[in-house]
Chains A and B, each alone.
Chain A
C-alpha cells in the first residue's frame, strides 16, 4: 500500500475531534472502547455495593446499613451487575473485536451502534442519579410483583427499575442486530462459515439469544409500568391478573440472560487457548455446535427459577430434564478445551492464568448448577445463600475470570502497550483466593438455612463465623480488582510498546497495528483458513505480501459486502459519515422514557422530538448524496440493473 493511499484512507475515515466531535464518532473502535470503559465503571460501582453488603452482613444484627438502604443497595448491586455490566461488557467486546476479527472496516450499522451506546450510557446515569436522590429501586433485580406492584411499591422506585430495563434492553437489542449483520454480511472474502473465529461464533449466538430474549423483559417491564401508572391489571389477582405471569415473563428472559453473559466468555477462552498453547483449537465443530445447542436449550429451562411456586409436578420434571441437559454441551466444551491444552505446556501469562482460574471456579459453579436442577434439592436451597454461591461461581468464575483474561489478552491491541506481568499474577492470585474465600462458605450458609436478601440475621443462628469469613474474602477480592486498575494505569504509561501481534495469535485483529487506525486494515485481507494469520504464514512462506482485496475506493467510506455462506464479494456500499444525530436521538428517547415515569402524556409529547431526531438522522446531506451517486456510478457505469434473478425472488 503506497503512502498516498494510506494518507487518503486516514483522511477519509478520520474520526471527528473536539468536544462536540466526541459525540459524532461512529467507528466501532471508538464506540467499543467507550462501551468497555463505561461497563467497567459500572462493574466497580457494583463491586462497591457488594462490599457495603458484605460489611453489613459481617456481624449478626449489624447496624451499618438499615433495612431500607440495604434493600436499595442489594437491588442496585444486582441490577448494575446484570444489566449495566455483564451484558453490555460482552457486547462491548463484540463491538470492538468482531469487525476486526472478520476483517471489516467498520460495524454494519455504525450510527445505530453509537445510538445503542448512548442509550445505555444515559440509562446508567439515570439509574444512579435516581439512586443518589433516594429513588433507588428496592425490589431486587427481579422486581417480583406484588411487592413491586402499585399497592406495595409506593413512590417511583419500581418505575425507575422498570424504565432502566427499557433503556438497557433497547441498547442490547440494537447492538445485537448490528453485530449479527456485521458477521453475516461484512466478513472478509474467503471467511466461509467454517472459518469464522470461535469468539465471533460466540458473539453471534449471544446476539441471537438477545434478539429472542430481551423483548420478553421489555414487554414485562412495560406491563409493570402500565399497571403502576395507568391502572391496568396484568398482575392484579383480584381483577383476573396473575402474580406468576410476571415471574414467567421475567425468567423466560432471565435464564437466557445468564447464558448471554456466559457464552461470550466461552468465546474468549476459545480465542485465548490456541494462542497460548500454540496449536489449533481442538474440536472446532463440536465447540460451535455446543454454542448453538446451549443457545437453544437456554430458552427451555426458565421454570427452574420457580420450582417453589407450586407449579404442577409434571411441568417441573420437564424443566429438571432440560436444566440437566444443558450441562452436556457445556461439558463438551470443557473437555475440548482440556484436549487443546493436552501436552502443549502453555505459557502461563496472565490471560492463561485467568483461563485456568475459570476452569477451577466454573466447574464448582456448573456442578452446583446441576444439583440445583433437581426439584427436590432446589426446594431446600432455592433463595438461600447456596444459590448466591452458585450464581457467583458461574458468573464471576464463568464470565468475569474469562473477561479479565480477555482484558489482559486484548489490552495490547486496544492500548498499544503490554500489560504488566508481575502485577497480573498478583491480580490473579488475589482475585482467585478472595473469590473462593468469599463465596465458598456461602454453600454452607445456604444449607444451614440462611435465606437470600436478608439485611441482618439473629446472633443465635450459627451464621456469624462464615459470614465474617465471606466478608474477609470480599476485601481480598476487592484488593485484587484494585491491583488490576493499577496495572492498567501503569501499563498505559510505562508498558512496553506492543507490536501488531505480541502474542503471535491467529485471528485477524492481530493483522493490523495496535491500536488499529480508524479504517482498521490498510487493505482488506483475504482469509485462507480457519486460523487466518497462521495459515497465511504457512501458505505463503515463500511469496510476497499476503492476499488482499483491491478496488475498494479510498476516498469514500466504502466497504465490501460479501455473501452469508461463503463470504464471496457481492457488492460495495458506503458507510455513513460521523453524525451528532444518534446522540441527540438517544437524548430525546431518554427524555421520553424518563418523562413517562411521571406522566403517561410524556409518551405522545416525548415522541415528537424523537421523531424529529430520527428523521434528521436518516435524511441524507448534500455531501452524502453526491458521494453515493459517485460510488454507485463508479467508472461511468449506470447503477447495474438488477440482472441477477436471485434478487427478484426475495419480495
Chain B
C-alpha cells in the first residue's frame, strides 16, 4: 500500500514543481548560456565522427510567461514580416518539421544572433540575450516542441493559425545536406 502512496506523493511533487516553474515570472534573470554561444556547429558534416552540439536546455522552455513574452516580441520585432505566423513566406515556415540550421535551442539562438544567408538578418546587439532566448522558446513552441500547458493560446487578433497550445508536436528533421529552401 505505501508504494502506491509513494508514487502518488512523487507524482504530486513533480506536478507541483512543474506548475511552480510554468508560472514563475522571471523578470530580470538572464538565462544560462545567455552569452553568445559560438560553439554551435550548424552542419552534421564534420571531419571524423560528428560531435553532437553541447546541448543547452533554455529555462524559458518551461515558463509560460517567458514564452508569451517571446510571442509578443516575435510580433513587435516584425519576425511576422517574413515568417508570417509560422506558416512562412519570404522566410521558411517555423511550424513544420523541417529545420535547415538545427532545431535545438542553441541552434535557433545562433540563427537569430548570427543571421543566415538568403535573408535572415543578424540581430546581434539589436535584441538583448534575454529577449533572444524568449523568442527562441516561442519559435520552438510553434512546432509543438514545448509542453502543452506552457505554449501560448490564441491571441486577441485575427484568427490566422491554430494556437501553439493545440499544435501537434512535429518530429524535427534537420536537412542540412538538402538544398535550403
| A–B direct contact (CB < 8 Å) | yes
- Count of chain B residues with Cβ under 8 Å from any Cβ of A? 27
* Max chain B C-beta neighbours (<10 A), residue from A133, A152, A233, A238: A133
State in angstroms the CA–CA spacing of A228 and B150 once bound together. 13
Which residues of chain A have C-beta atoms less than 8 A from B155's C-beta? 150-151
Contact (Cβ within 8 A) B23 A236: no
Chain B residues near A135 (CB-CB < 8 A): 19, 22-23
Is B158 located at the chain interface by the 8 A CB criterion? yes
Q: Are B156 and A154 in contact (CB under 8 A)?
A: no
B16 A150 Cβ-Cβ under 8 A: no
Which residue on A lies nearest to B152, using beta carbons? A154
Q: How far is the CA of A150 from the CA of B159 in the complex (A)?
A: 12
Closest A residue to B71 using CB positions: A151
Q: Are B65 and A154 closer than 8 Å at their CB atoms?
A: yes
Q: Are B23 and A155 in contact (CB under 8 A)?
A: yes
Q: With A598-B148, A598-B149 in contact, do A156 and B159 touch (Cβ < 8 Å)? A: no
Residue from the set A149, A151, A152, A156 with the largest chain B CB neighbour count within 10 Å: A151
User: Using Cβ atoms and an 8 Å threshold, which residues of chain B touch A155?
Assistant: 22-23, 64-65, 149-150
On whether the beta carbons of A154 and B159 are closer than 8 Å, the reply is no
User: B171 contacts the other chain (Cβ, under 8 Å)?
Assistant: no
- Interface residue? B175 (CB, 8 A): no
Given the complex of chains A and B, what is the CA–CA distance between A599 and B154 in angstroms?
Answer: 15
The reply to whether the CB of B42 lies closer than 8 angstroms to some CB of chain A is no
How far, in angstroms, from A492 to B129 measured CA to CA in the complex? 62
When distances are taken between beta carbons in the complex, the residues of chain A under 8 Å from B154 are 150-151, 227, 231, 236
* CB-contact partner of B159 in A133, A233, A237, A599, under 8 A: A233
Q: Is B67 an interface residue (CB 8 A)?
A: yes
Binary flags per residue of B110-138, CB closer than 8 Å to A gives 1, else 0: 00000000000000000000000000000
Which residues from A are CB-within-8-Å of B64?
154-156
Residue B145 at the chain A interface, CB threshold 8 Å = no
Within 8 A of A (CB), among B25-71: 25, 64-65, 67-68
Q: Total interface residues on A, using CB and 8 Å?
A: 25
Assess the B153–A238 pair: CB atoms within 8 A: no
- On whether the beta carbons of A154 and B68 are closer than 8 Å, the reply is yes
* CA of A134 to CA of B162, assembled, Å: 28
Contacting residue for B153 out of A68, A150, A157, A239, CB 8 A:
A150
* Given the contacts A157-B23, A231-B163, A598-B149, A133 and B16 also touching, CB distance less than 8 Å: yes
If A155-B65, A598-B149, A599-B148 touch, does A68 touch B25 (CB 8 Å cutoff)? yes
CB-defined contacts of B158 to chain A, threshold 8 Å: 238-239
Nearest CB in chain B to that of A157: its residue? B23
Q: Are A229 and B153 in contact (CB-based, < 8 A)?
A: yes
- In the complex, the answer to whether B153 meets A156 with C-beta atoms within 8 Å is no
Give the residues from 115 to 157 in chain A that come closer than 8 angstroms, CB to CB, to chain B: 130, 133-135, 146, 149-152, 154-157
Bound Cα distance from A149 to B165, whole angstroms: 14
CB <8 Å contact, B22 and A228? no
- With a CB–CB cut-off of 8 A, which chain A residues contact B24? 134
C-alpha gap A151/B23 in the complex (Å): 15
**Contact call A133/B19, Cβ cutoff below 8 A:** yes
Give the shortest distance, in Å, between B42 (CB) and chain A (any CB): 32
For A229, list chain B residues within 8 Å (CB). Answer: 153, 165
Residue of A nearest to B157 (CB): A238
Per-residue interface assignment for chain A, residues 145 to 185, with 1 indicating a CB less than 8 Å from any chain B CB and 0 otherwise: 01001111011110000000000000000000000000000
A231 touching B153 in the complex, CB below 8 Å, given contacts A154-B68, A156-B23, A599-B148: yes
B166 touches which one: A130, A157, A231 (CB < 8 A)?
A231
Interface-central residue, B65, B153, B157, by most chain A CB under 10 Å = B153
Bound state CA distance, A130 and B149, in angstroms?
14
- A518 CB → nearest B CB, Å: 33
Contact partners of A157 in chain B: CB under 8 A: 23
B23 A134 Cβ-Cβ under 8 A? yes
Most buried by A among B67, B148, B156: B156
Within the assembled complex, what's the spacing in Å between the Cα atoms of A130 and B20? 9
Interface residues of A in 554-600 (CB under 8 A from B): 598-599
Q: How far is the CB of B138 from chain A (nearest CB, A)?
A: 11
- Which A residues are in CB contact (< 8 Å) with B68? 151, 154
CB within 8 Å for A149 and B23 given contacts A155-B65, A156-B149: no
Given contacts A134-B24, A156-B22, contact A239 B159 (CB under 8 A): yes
B163 touches A150 (CB 8 A): yes
Q: How far is the CA of A156 from the CA of B15 in the complex (A)?
A: 13
CB–CB B156/A149 < 8 A: yes
| Contact A130 B19, CB 8 Å, known A151-B156, A237-B156, A239-B159 | yes
B80 to A: closest C-beta gap in Å: 15
CB pair A228 B23 closer than 8 Å: no
- Extra contacts, 8 of them, besides A130-B19, A133-B16, A151-B152 (Cβ < 8 A), are A150-B154, A154-B64, A155-B149, A155-B150, A231-B163, A238-B158, A239-B159, A598-B149
Can you show 14 pairs from A to B with CB atoms below 8 A apart? A133-B20, A150-B154, A150-B163, A151-B156, A152-B156, A154-B65, A155-B64, A156-B19, A156-B64, A156-B149, A231-B159, A231-B163, A239-B159, A599-B148
Residues of A within 8 A of B (CB): 68, 130, 133-135, 146, 149-152, 154-157, 227-229, 231, 233, 236-239, 598-599
Going nearest first, the 5 A-B pairs with the smallest beta carbon separation are A150-B153, A155-B64, A154-B68, A151-B155, A134-B23
